[in-house]
Amino acid sequence: MEYIIGADIGTTSTKAVLYDQKGNVLEYANVGYPLYQDEPDMAEQDVEEIFEAVVDAITQVVRKSDVAAKDIRGVSFSSAMHSLILLNQEMEPITRSITWADNRAAKYSEELKTNGLGQKIYEKTGTPIHPMAPLSKLIWLKTEKPELFNQARYFIGIKEYVLYKFFGELKMDQSIASATGLFNIFDLTWDNLALETVGITVDLLPEVVATDYQFQGIKKSYAEVMGLPEDIKFVIGASDGVLSNLGVNAVDEGVLALTIGTSGAIRTVVDQPVTDPKGRLFCYVLSEGKYVLGGPVNNGGIVFRWVRDQLFAPEKETAAQMKIDSYDILTEMASTIPAGSDGLIFLPYLGGERAPLWDANARGTYFGLNRNHTRAHMLRAALEGIVFNLYTVLLALEEVSGSPKSIQATGGFARSALWRQMLADIFETDVTIPESFESSCLGAAVLGMVSLDMAKDLTVVKEMIGVTNAHHPNEKNYTAYRDLLPIFIRLSRQLSGEYKAIADYQRTH
Ligand code: ADP
């Protein structure tokens, strides 16, 4: 038997999982690191802390297992998207890693949107115009921190830094590149218009390679520390988002991966790059001939948490005393209310919204309240509103690709049978919950297995993951939702003219 490690460099921690060739998990390690927020809108991480966490996580899985090091064929990587690090002439970092959550470039992405240049660049790069992307961050740095910007010899992300430390070779994979906002997803090269807009030349960016690219010749000291053979191969891999599609077996045409954790997303794999004429969707590279099209939403399970904390504090306390899950009590309560919450609609935009609105000023709304509505209605309407919003992202997706035939759903929401059924009813599509642990690590491992000839192609993932639950649309429920959805959609459009006014009011009063 041969083995591989999938490592995911995430925003809060790095995870490493040791798999055998059949995808069975042998060992798991998770090493966390802090996020630095010294000023408003900042979200940075220390590059050395992350590098050490990567070494530590890999070391732990190798040392804990009784697998002989020589049977571990490789380590394959996943990482969070959109990070930016500046290296100087000596190839030393002169910034921390500026993560996707950093919002300091907001003014510059707004400018790109309003002057029309943003949409032109998006249509080549597939990265929505947003402060998260290195495109906006570079314009911000160049304008507001020119001394720092001008010292930079290279602009890279966290995965490039980690692999450079191991191998002394600076390479970026096409998947991470496709999330910088600077990479043309049609030509698979750095995009001239994006580079001109920032005012940089291509020699300041790393060489881009396919996601199955292999590194060999690891520095001896690192191989020793981690307990890996010196001839071990590392596979560059891709970004966490696209790899999680692979890791939940949502790579075939017509299969939608949907996740509702703290935030949420829908994603589907297409065989050629596509962009959205309205700029609402991302399109990122997974592997040769496979692109992931989708939209991220801010307002996922975090909205359920808000409803619990603000409207159901007594129930939360009782649940804590009885040592039961407060979310279980609440979903039980929501199940006493019929589908459609007797005509109460909730627009869940508590934290602004990315897809489909891309409006940081968006705010939440209860609409249709009457005297018969109870707290339980407000609860059910919130759960439904989160799914309605994801459904509107699907409508955008259907405009540029086909309709989904099935949904692979993951995230904390999937613990609730009520919420899973609601998803099947609102989307009118079969829903299955894959039994997949750390899907981005598994995705990285599968990509690595194919690169290292341990597996024939990406479809091997099908045999690696089971199914825990399946739900089919219920006619009575979807009929109720069909009549409510058009109102939700019209409302979210009609309110869009007022979001800035109310957000400005909230900022100034
Ligand atoms: P993260 O995205 O931060 O990794 P999770 O995937 O665990 O987090 O999702 C957390 C969210 O899942 C919570 O905010 C909550 O909305 C939802 N959740 C957690 N437990 C349950 C449950 N038993 N029933 C329904 N929803 C749940």
Residue extents of the structural domains in the chain: 3-248+439-467, 301-337+351-433
* Protein residue whose Cα sits closest to atom 14 of ligand 1: 301
Please state, in angstroms and rounded to a whole number, the distance separating the CA atoms of residues 263 and 499.
Answer: 20
Q: ∠ at Cα 268 (357, 494), nearest 5°?
A: 20
pLDDT at 38: 95
The DSSP call for residue 133 is S
What's the CA-to-centroid distance between 198 and ligand 1, angstroms?
39
Ligand 1 atom with the smallest distance to the CA of 411 is 6
Please state, in angstroms and rounded to a whole number, the distance separating the CA atoms of residues 45 and 394.
Answer: 33
Residues 10, 240 contacting (CB under 8 angstroms): yes
Residues 493, 362 contacting (CB under 8 angstroms): no
- Which superfamily does CATH assign the domain made up of 301-337+351-433 to? ATPase, nucleotide binding domain (3.30.420.40)
User: Tell me, what amino acid is at 487?
Assistant: I
Ligand 1 atom with the smallest distance to the CA of 302 is 14
For the chain, which residues score pLDDT lower than 70? none
Kindly give the interhelix angle for 158-167 and 47-64, rounded to the nearest 10 degrees. Answer: 60
Please state, in angstroms and rounded to a whole number, the distance separating the CA atoms of residues 124 and 139.
Answer: 18
485 CB-near residues (< 8 Å, 6+ apart): 388, 391, 426
pLDDT at 351: 82
Regarding the beta carbon of 166 and ligand 1, being less than 6 Å apart is answered no
What's the CA-to-centroid distance between 238 and ligand 1, angstroms?
26
**Residues forming beta bridges with residue 190, ordered by sequence position:** 183
Regarding the beta carbon of 328 and ligand 1, being less than 6 Å apart is answered yes
* Token duo for residue 355: 């897809």
What's the CA-to-centroid distance between 173 and ligand 1, angstroms?
31
Helix (H, G, I), strand (E, B) or coil at 485: helix
> Per CATH, the architecture of 3-248+439-467 is what?
2-Layer Sandwich (3.30)
* Token duo for residue 489: 């959609």
Ligand 1 atom with the smallest distance to the CA of 259 is 6
User: Tell me, what amino acid is at 251?
Assistant: V
Regarding the beta carbon of 127 and ligand 1, being less than 6 Å apart is answered no
Residues 183, 176 contacting (CB under 8 angstroms): no
Helices (H), 350-454: 375-400, 417-427, 439-451
From residue 485, give the alpha-carbon distance in Å to each of 159, 387, 482.
Answer: 41, 11, 6
From residue 494, give the alpha-carbon distance in Å to each of 362, 368, 439.
Answer: 12, 15, 38
Of 400, 415, 436, the C-alpha closest to 257 is 436
What's the CA-to-centroid distance between 382 and ligand 1, angstroms?
14
pLDDT at 437: 86
pLDDT at 60: 98
pLDDT at 360: 87
What's the CA-to-centroid distance between 305 and ligand 1, angstroms?
8
Same topology, domains 3-248+439-467 and 301-337+351-433? Answer is: yes
pTM, two decimal places: 0.95
498 CB-near residues (< 8 Å, 6+ apart): none
Strands 255-260 and 406-410, how do they pair? parallel
- The greatest distance separating any two alpha carbons of the chain, rounded to the nearest whole angstrom, comes to 72
What's the CA-to-centroid distance between 263 and ligand 1, angstroms?
9
From residue 468, give the alpha-carbon distance in Å to each of 160, 245, 434, 435, 471.
Answer: 36, 17, 6, 6, 11
Residues 394, 267 contacting (CB under 8 angstroms): no
Side-chain-side CA neighbours of 475 within 13 Å: the count stands at: 0
What's the CA-to-centroid distance between 412 and ligand 1, angstroms?
3
Burial status of residue 507 (CB atoms within 10 A of its CB: 0-12, 13-18, 19 or more):
exposed
* Token duo for residue 483: 């009549």
Regarding the beta carbon of 327 and ligand 1, being less than 6 Å apart is answered yes
Regarding the beta carbon of 419 and ligand 1, being less than 6 Å apart is answered yes
Please state, in angstroms and rounded to a whole number, the distance separating the CA atoms of residues 208 and 225.
Answer: 29
Regarding the beta carbon of 259 and ligand 1, being less than 6 Å apart is answered no
What's the CA-to-centroid distance between 335 and ligand 1, angstroms?
17
Regarding the beta carbon of 324 and ligand 1, being less than 6 Å apart is answered no
The best mutation among 380, 415, 421, 433 to test binding of ligand 1, ranked by most ligand atoms within 8 Å of the C-beta, falls on 415
Residues 458, 451 contacting (CB under 8 angstroms): no
Q: How far apart are the first and last CA of the chain?
A: 65
* Token duo for residue 339: 């589908």
Regarding the beta carbon of 131 and ligand 1, being less than 6 Å apart is answered no
Of 348, 354, 310, the C-alpha closest to 330 is 310
From residue 352, give the alpha-carbon distance in Å to each of 56, 106, 333, 361.
Answer: 37, 13, 28, 5
pLDDT at 16: 98
The beta strands (E) that lie in 232-373 are given as 233-239, 255-260, 264-270, 282-287, 290-297, 345-347, 365-367
